[in-house]
Amino acid sequence: MPSGVAAIIVAAGSSQRMGGQDKLFLPLGKLPVLARAVEPFQRSELVRHIVLVVNRSNHRMTRALVERLHWTKVAHICLGGPRRQDSVARGLSKLTGCEWVVVHDGARPFVSEEMVRRGLEAARQTGASVAAVPVKDTIKIAGEDGLVRETPPRKDLWIAQTPQVFRFDIISNAYAQAGEESTDDAVLVERLGYRVRLFPGSYGNIKITTPEDLRLAQALLEGMNEQL
C-alpha cells in the first residue's frame, strides 16, 4: 500500500448556486456536509495527513469543527484562492514528504473509506486515478450554433468525481504548469501526457451545488439509514 498519503479537501467555494447559504455547513442528518466529506479520511488507516482548504468566512467554523470532531489528522487549515485550482495549489504547497495526494471535494459528503482505498490502489498502477461512474444519459457534443456535431458512444463515457489520487511529484508538476482553467485536477495531469486510470466511484457520491442537490442528499441519506 502507498505510504505517506495526504488528503486535500477542497472546500473554498462560494456556494453561489446555493442561494446565499454556505453549503458546506448545511446539516445533513446529524453532521454538516463538510464533516461527512472529511470523516472517511480521518478514519482511513491509509491516510496520514489532511489539509482543509476553506474560504475566509468559514475559517473559524472549520477550526471549531476540527476540534469538536477530534480530527487529529488535520495538519493545516488554509485559505483557498479565487478558482478551484488555486485552492488545490495552496493545499499542495502545504505538503512535504508525502508520496501520494488524494484530492476530494468538500461538497461530496458520500465518499467512503473503501472508495479512498480503491483510488490509491488504482493510482499505484499509473500514478494517477479518478473516481468515475458510467454516464447514463445520451451525451451530445454541439457547437456554439446549437447544432449537434457528434453523439459519442455511451459505453466510453464516464462522469468524473472525486476522490482523485496522484503521485505527489506528478500533481505538483501538473500544477506548476497549469495553464487555462480546468474543471478537475486530472485533466492537468492528462495534458502533460501522464496516464490516468478510472476507478469505481458511486452514483450516490454527488456534489452538492444547488438546493435540489441538498434535497437529493437528504433523500439518499434516508435511503442509507433505511438499509441499516
- Burial, 1: exposed, middle or buried (Cβ in 10 Å; 0-12, 13-18, 19+)? exposed
Cβ closest to a second copy, residue 55 vs residue 161? 161
CB atoms within 10 A of CB 106: 30
Smallest gap from residue 64 Cβ to a second copy (A): 31
Distance in Å, CB of 99 to a second copy, minimum: 22
Q: Which residues here bind a second copy, judged by CB under 8 A?
A: 126, 130, 132, 135-143, 146-149, 151-152, 154, 156-161, 183-184, 186-187, 190, 195-199, 203-204, 209, 211-212, 215-216, 219-220, 223
In the complex, minimum distance from the CB of residue 41 to a second copy, in angstroms, rounded to a whole number? 21
Residue bearing cell 496522484: 166
CB of 142 to a second copy, least distance (A): 5
Minimum distance between the CB of residue 49 and a second copy, rounded to whole angstroms? 26
Shortest CB 92 distance to a second copy, Å? 19
Cell triple for 169: 511529484
C-alpha cell recorded at residue 210:
444547488
Nearer Cβ to a second copy, position 147 or 228? Answer: 147
Give 81 or 211: the residue with its C-beta nearer to a second copy.
Answer: 211
If the CB atoms of residues 93 and 177 are measured against a second copy, the closer one turns out to be 177
Identify which of residues 4 and 134 has a Cβ nearer to a second copy in the complex.
Answer: 134
If the CB atoms of residues 48 and 121 are measured against a second copy, the closer one turns out to be 121
Please classify residue 225 by burial: count the beta carbons closer than 10 Å to its beta carbon, then call 0-12 exposed, 13-18 middle and 19+ buried: exposed
Sequence-ordered list of residues with C-beta below 8 angstroms from that of 200, at least 6 positions apart, any chain: 115, 118, 131, 132, 133
Residue from 103, 130, 123 nearest 41 by CA: 103
Total number of residues shown for the chain: 228
Cβ atoms within 10 Å, residue 44: 21
Backbone phi, psi, residue 200, to 5° = -65, 115
